[in-house]
Amino acid sequence: MTFKPLWLAAGLRTPFAKVDGGLAKRDAISLSVPVVQAMAAKLKAGDQPDLIVWGTVAPNLHWSNIAREIALDAGLSPYIPAMTAIMACATSMVGVFSAAETVAKAPGSLALVGGVESMSGIQIGLNQKLSTWLRKFFQARAVGQRAEMLAALPLKDVRLHIPSITNRTTGLSMGEGTEIMAKTWKISRQAQDELALTGHQRAVAAWMNGFFSDLVIAVDGVDKDTIPRADTSLAKLAKLKPSFDPSDAGTLTAGNSSPLTDGAAGIWLGDETGLQRLPAATPRVRLVDWEMVGVDILKDGLLMAPAFAIPRLLARHKLRYDDIALWEIHEAFTAQALVHVTALQDEAFLRERVGVAATFGKFPWDRYNPNGGSVALGHPFGATGARILSQAVKELAAKSTGSRAVVSICTDGGLGAVCLLSN
């Protein structure tokens, strides 16, 4: 990259809780405000961020630029520019990329970036025909005209619009799309359950060892993630029924899929001077490079983009898989993560589909999501990017100088975002 060195510093997040759980009383704005306030409080007295970038995936009719609303509700200066970023599950990661250009042009600047999802607060709306009818109905001034409109309203148009986690192009849910990927790449149910179990075990251990103590703040009496399960086992996971393909061929279950989750997360982005405004103990690493990719969801698979992005990013820097000390790969489903790693080791796929004529070696599973992934920790769509980046920053900062990390997120629509970090 041609811009001056940029750095990420670990931020803060709320605990992650299942939908309708301990954070259900808060909407996306009020869930984000404590995180922004707690992060801003770490700056010196009177100091404030130079830019706010925040995002959420689920739309809400009460606001359009959620970043601005959060900044104002958090009591930050109204003179700080704020913008909303969105790219499905990679929303707060691409928020970092969006902020990078501004930070790179402004010496000594510091951006507060993050995202949120309140799955408990999803807004139910009206279908488009009914919305249009209502608008015209209230525009009519004559009582007779309104009466005629009521009489002419087709009952079939009186419907609610209930948001669902489905892809508009295919009409398939994320799970249904991933089931196709799992079958195409021959990913077994047992492999998915084993990876899910490992994720829970690592997340539970990380909480017990205090890894998350300086990354998570308490909100509404919830002081830690509620999703990691210490009591799960392969036997328990094996008893769960398939969630998206009820036939004997179905492999994705509630146990190896990320749950609907409430939560908010933030991270810092700045140049070397800008990061000096944070406490010296704040973990920080260099943002070296990034790659965003789009693929053909009908040909390549709904969540396959990172399998294209990672090889291109590594090839640009002449790196092999073993050169990466830490791999943080978002798990919408363990099946999707297993597909990615399988594809990354398939030389024909890399050559013919990705267009990279290189071999990167064997994938180092022992360096994968050492403190748990999204299946165990939870997945509030807009917050996952900041969560996984802050986690990677803390993990990588503790390793030897020169160590590298790859952070990868797949998203709906055949998109993906990947970045390379170094300490």
Q: Which residue matches tokens 């995180």?
A: 35
Let me know whether 296 and 363 are in one domain: yes
Let me know whether 155 and 181 are in one domain: no
DSSP of 287-301 = EEEEEEEE--TTTT-
- Please tell me the predicted confidence (pLDDT) of residue 105: 92
Question: Is there a domain that residue 32 lies in?
Answer: no
What is the tally of structural domains in the chain? 2
Distance separating alpha carbons of residues 148 and 264, to the nearest angstrom: 48
Distance separating alpha carbons of residues 33 and 280, to the nearest angstrom: 24
Let me know whether 144 and 194 are in one domain: no
Let me know whether 353 and 377 are in one domain: yes
Distance separating alpha carbons of residues 418 and 96, to the nearest angstrom: 12
Query: Does the reported pTM lie above 0.85?
Result: yes
Question: Is there a domain that residue 363 lies in?
Answer: yes
Distance separating alpha carbons of residues 102 and 112, to the nearest angstrom: 12
Please state whether 307 falls in left (phi above 0), alpha (psi between -120 and 50) or beta.
Answer: alpha
Instruction: Look up residue 313 and give its two tokens.
Output: 């990013």
Question: Is there a domain that residue 6 lies in?
Answer: no
The answer to whether residue 161 is catalytic is: no
CATH number at residue 298: 3.40.47.10
- Please tell me the predicted confidence (pLDDT) of residue 46: 87
Let me know whether 157 and 292 are in one domain: no
Let me know whether 147 and 291 are in one domain: no
Let me know whether 207 and 131 are in one domain: no
Tell me how many degrees the CA angle 297-302-307 measures, rounded to the nearest 5: 95
Question: Is there a domain that residue 72 lies in?
Answer: no
Q: Which of 200, 330, 340, 410 is catalytic?
A: 410
Distance separating alpha carbons of residues 345 and 330, to the nearest angstrom: 18
Segment (H or E) for 53: strand 51-55
Let me know whether 295 and 358 are in one domain: yes
Question: Is there a domain that residue 243 lies in?
Answer: no
Q: Which of 89, 330, 340, 419 is catalytic?
A: 89
Q: Which domain holds residue 205?
A: 174-213+287-422
Let me know whether 149 and 179 are in one domain: no
Question: 213, exposed or middle or buried, with CB in 10 Å at 0-12, 13-18, 19+?
Answer: exposed
Question: Is there a domain that residue 137 lies in?
Answer: yes
- What distance lies between CA 256 and its chain's CA centroid? 17
Let me know whether 337 and 381 are in one domain: yes
Walk along the chain (423 residues) and give the pLDDT tens digit of each residue. 446 899 999 999 999 999 999 999 999 999 999 999 999 999 988 899 999 999 999 988 889 999 999 999 999 999 999 999 999 999 999 999 999 999 999 999 999 999 999 999 988 888 889 999 999 999 998 999 999 999 888 888 888 887 788 999 999 999 999 999 999 999 999 999 999 999 999 999 999 999 999 999 999 999 999 999 999 999 999 999 999 999 999 999 999 999 999 999 999 999 999 999 999 999 999 999 999 999 999 999 999 999 999 999 999 999 999 999 999 999 999 999 999 999 999 999 999 999 998 889 999 999 999 999 999 999 999 999 999 999 999 999 999 999 999 999 999 999 999 999 999
Distance separating alpha carbons of residues 376 and 92, to the nearest angstrom: 19
Q: Which of 200, 330, 340, 379 is catalytic?
A: 379
The answer to whether residue 419 is catalytic is: no
Question: Is there a domain that residue 223 lies in?
Answer: no
Name residues whose C-beta falls within 8 Å of residue 131's C-beta, 6 or more positions apart in sequence.
Answer: 125
- Please tell me the predicted confidence (pLDDT) of residue 3: 62
Let me know whether 316 and 355 are in one domain: yes
Segment (H or E) for 349: helix 347-349
φ and ψ of 75, to 5 deg? 85, 15
Question: Is there a domain that residue 418 lies in?
Answer: yes
Let me know whether 132 and 209 are in one domain: no
